[in-house]
Structure 1
Amino acid sequence: MGTPPVVVVMGVAGTGKTTVGPLLAARLGVPYAEGDDFHPEANIAKMSAGTPLDDADRWPWLDAIGAWAHDRAGLGGVAGCSALKRAYRDRLRTAAPGLVFVHLAGDRALVEERMSHRRGHFMPTALLDSQFATLQPLAADEAGVTVDVSSGPEEITERAVRALAALRGIDPAST
């Protein structure tokens, strides 16, 4: 499959980044980094209290993920990161120019249903509206693919693998 890509699995909360990301990393044979682990405690406290982050909160978090992605260039890796705005993705690409995005996209009702069954996560369902309001889907000039999340994690992962292979001009049968 050649040099493994560095991939950011992006999307609003509840789309499956934390579930699909490790599956995708395993499928690609690269390490996975959980984007939530890069948040400073102040960000987690803010979100736990039901307050959306602003850009000033996000820049250090994005820079930390970008540094991780930069260090993985040529080695491959998968990181979960909401990366909801084009400006956030641009910042990540500045740190790691070869970065590719997998946008996990789904209907709001489906995402809310999935979030309502999560346990032990700091992101409350009450912030879902702000996530959808902030989301700027991948533009045609951004390296990445959009994958629908209406099926199970394994099928979503396989769709992502096939889409990434096609994006990179690789025969999906060889992945």
Structure 2
Amino acid sequence: MSVAGEGAGVDTGTYRHAMGRLAKGVAVLTTTAGAQDHALTANSLTSVSLEPVLLLVCVETDARFHDAARESGVFGVSILAADQRALAAWFATPGRPLPGQMDRAPHHRAESGVALLDGCLATLECDVRDIHPAGDHSIFVGAVRAARLAADPKAALVHFRGQYSALT
């Protein structure tokens, strides 16, 4: 539901910088649609519920991943370690070619067929449960069907003030 005047008077640059001061974990979301892998770097990921196990991710409606995840009904989440900064940057690159984009990232296939990155702190495999419009993004609610933890977790990759950093 949109309210008239919502956000009126808020400088979007200031808002963006304010939100950038909230340190966030970094993940790569993946899906496969039409035999093509789609992926993007995300830092708007959060747990929603333990019963049932649900998480949410916010995806820009213009992102290629958006329609691909809607079509496929599944997506993977790879929570990045600090040494995976280059992968975060690659999957955040707008307009990168779809064919071969996963060639830069060591990965394996989950049961659903989505790519999950190797060397991550954790991976999750989700079924799309709901999609809610929210401005220029959609909120995808995923029902987690599998969660795996790294045997020897390393430092986490975080995003703070527009930069990637390590959190130990």
Q: Between the two structures, name the one with larger relative contact order (CA 8 Å, sep ≥ 6).
A: 1
| Max Rg structure | 2
TM-score of the pair, normalised by structure 1: 0.25
TM-score of the pair, normalised by structure 2: 0.26
Q: Quick check: which one's strand share is greater?
A: 2
